[in-house]
């Protein structure tokens, strides 16, 4: 009878050890999911690509009235691709194309960003300086504090400030807005502006004839007009020209993921006569208003919702399920492998005798 007790005890211990090992493996897998798999899921994938289309209108300077003419419909596209990844760094290629009445305007940029927090990564060869501004996405679980967005026209970071919470097609979003007034720096845009103005002014567009500027400021009344006329009189035959962008950026970011759900802008580019400390706006050359179209917004919302579900599943439900099952198996292992009590042994003997063994 003692041998039977020993065999039974050994079997119980074996089953208990099996339960314990399985439980430990599941708990370890839960930890692996939280600390290894989930963080990789929240990284910008190496095959990421996104295309956003915009609808809007553009108004151009009417030479006859020297005012902006009636706006005409325009459209634009921005395509972003990840071209390379190196550990936590991703190189992204961004091409924005606007089809304007004056022709096609293309902004082609390459940036290096962190794959987790989407911030600028410095020291990478062959990329453009985004001046610390956002070029793809905000961080996950964004705050309502102001942040900056890279503006390709002025090659600078533009500050945007929280305005209100909104719901975009079922997703909670933070709406930010900001306006910047800065010189145009994008080479293609600047060259086009200079060529257009230079043609009408009889210069290369980098300078303005003194008499043309004088005709504008002659109509300004009061002390400001007097000061400008004095500045024109003191200037040479040509006055430096500046091209200034007044740009209002509108962006709705997902309150959970930080990814943009909708973006838009209202930009006016003006010609300024540069008198040093007293620049003077002469003409508004063009105005461009764009907003992401409904199809693009719907696609961005669907992507955000899908990504949020996957992240929640991997970060929360899967680890909880694995850990819970692991704990149950550990408890079962401890229960099965516990030393047999005397009453259990007697009961087992009776069972064996009753079975005819």
If you average pLDDT over residues 10-25, what whole number do you get? 64
Average pLDDT of 112-138?
95
pLDDT, position 99:
87
Q: In 3-state terms, what secondary structure has residue 85?
A: strand
Ramachandran class of 258: left when φ > 0, alpha when ψ lies in -120 to 50, beta otherwise? left
Question: 102 pairs with which residues across the strands?
Answer: none
**pLDDT interval class at 316 (50, 70, 90):** low
Q: What is the pLDDT of residue 151?
A: 95
Higher pLDDT, 29 or 138: 138
Report the b/e string of 110-127 with b at 16+ CB within 10 A: bbbbbbeebebbeeeeeb
In terms of pTM, does the model score above 0.85? no
Q: What is the CA radius of gyration of the chain?
A: 34
Tell me: pLDDT of 344 over 80: no
Can you tell me the mean pLDDT for 60-80? 90
β-bridge pairing 280-292 and 103-114: unpaired
Q: Is 169 exposed, middle or buried (0-12, 13-18, 19+ CB in 10 A)?
A: middle
* Cα 112 from chain centroid (whole Å): 13
> What integer pLDDT is reported at residue 354 of this predicted model?
47
pLDDT of residue 356: 44
146: number of Cβ within 10 Å: 11
Say what the pLDDT of residue 41 is: 66
In the prediction, which pLDDT does 346 show?
47
pLDDT > 70 in the chain, percent: 76
> What was the pLDDT predicted at 335?
66
CA–CA separation, 307 and 303 (whole Å) = 6
pLDDT tens digits, one per residue of 222-264:
887 888 888 888 888 999 999 999 999 999 999 999 999 999 9
Confidence (pLDDT) at 212: 87
Banded model confidence at residue 323, pLDDT cuts 50, 70, 90: low
3-state per-residue secondary structure call for the chain: CHHHHHHHHHHHHHHHHHHHHHHHHHHHHHHHHHHHHHHHHCCCCCCCEEEEEEEEEEEEEECCCCEECCCEEEEEEEEEEEEEEECCEEEEEEEEEEEECCEEEEEEEEEEEECCCCCECCCCCCCCCCCCCECCCCCCCCCCCCEEEEECCCCEEEEEEEEEEEEECCEEEEEEEEEEEEECCCHHHHHHHHHHHHHHHCCCCCEEEHHHHHHHHCCCCHHHHHHHHHHHHHCCCEEEEEEEEEEEEEEEEECCCCCEEEEEEEEEEEEEECCCCCCEEEEEEEEEEEEECHHHHHHHHHHHHHHHHHHHHHHHHHHHHHHHHHHHHHHHHHHHCCCCCHHHHHHHHHHHHHCCC
Q: Given pLDDT bands bounded at 50, 70 and 90, which one contains residue 353?
A: very low
Which tops the pLDDT comparison, 127 or 186?
127
Other beta carbons less than 10 A from residue 139's beta carbon: 16
Q: Which residue has the higher pLDDT, 35 or 97?
A: 97
Handedness of CA 184, 163, 58, 49 (dihedral sign): positive
Mean pLDDT of 127-155: 95
Q: What is the DSSP string of 211-256?
A: HHHHHHHTT--HHHHHHHHHHHHHS-SEEEEEEEEEEEEEEEEETT
């Amino acid at each position: 009878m003692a041998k039977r007790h020993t065999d039974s005890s050994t079997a119980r211990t074996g089953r208990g050890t099996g339960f314990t090992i399985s439980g430990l493996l599941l708990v370890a897998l839960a930890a692996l999911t939280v600390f290894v798999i989930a963080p990789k899921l929240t990284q910008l994938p190496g095959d990421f690509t996104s295309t956003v289309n915009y609808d809007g209108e553009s108004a151009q300077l009417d030479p006859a009235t020297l005012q902006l003419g009636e706006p005409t419909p325009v459209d634009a596209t921005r395509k972003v691709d990840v071209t390379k990844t190196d550990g936590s760094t991703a190189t992204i290629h961004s091409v924005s194309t606007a089809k304007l009445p004056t022709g096609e305007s293309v902004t082609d940029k390459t940036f290096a960003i962190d794959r987790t927090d989407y911030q600028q990564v410095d020291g990478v060869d062959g990329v453009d300086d985004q001046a610390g501004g956002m070029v793809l996405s905000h961080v996950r679980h964004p705050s309502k504090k102001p942040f900056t967005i890279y503006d390709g026209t002025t090659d600078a970071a533009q500050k945007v400030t929280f305005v209100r919470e909104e719901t975009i097609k079922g997703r909670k979003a933070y709406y930010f807005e900001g306006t910047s007034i800065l010189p145009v720096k994008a080479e293609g845009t600047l060259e086009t502006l200079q060529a257009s103005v230079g043609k009408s002014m009889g210069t290369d567009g980098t300078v303005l004839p003194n008499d043309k500027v004088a005709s504008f400021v002659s109509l300004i009344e009061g002390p400001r007009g007097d000061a400008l006329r004095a500045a024109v009189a003191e200037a040479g035959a040509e006055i430096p020209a500046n091209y200034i962008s007044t740009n209002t950026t509108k962006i709705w970011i997902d309150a959970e993921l930080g990814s943009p759900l909708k973006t838009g802008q209202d930009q006016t580019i003006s010609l300024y006569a540069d008198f040093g400390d007293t620049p003077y706006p002469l003409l508004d050359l063009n105005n461009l208003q764009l907003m992401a179209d409904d199809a693009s917004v719907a696609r961005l919302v669907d992507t955000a919702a899908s990504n949020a579900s996957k992240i929640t599943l991997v970060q929360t439900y899967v680890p909880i399920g694995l850990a819970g099952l692991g704990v149950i198996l550990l408890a079962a292992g401890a229960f099965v492998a516990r030393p047999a009590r005397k009453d259990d042994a007697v009961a087992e003997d009776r069972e064996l005798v009753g079975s005819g063994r």
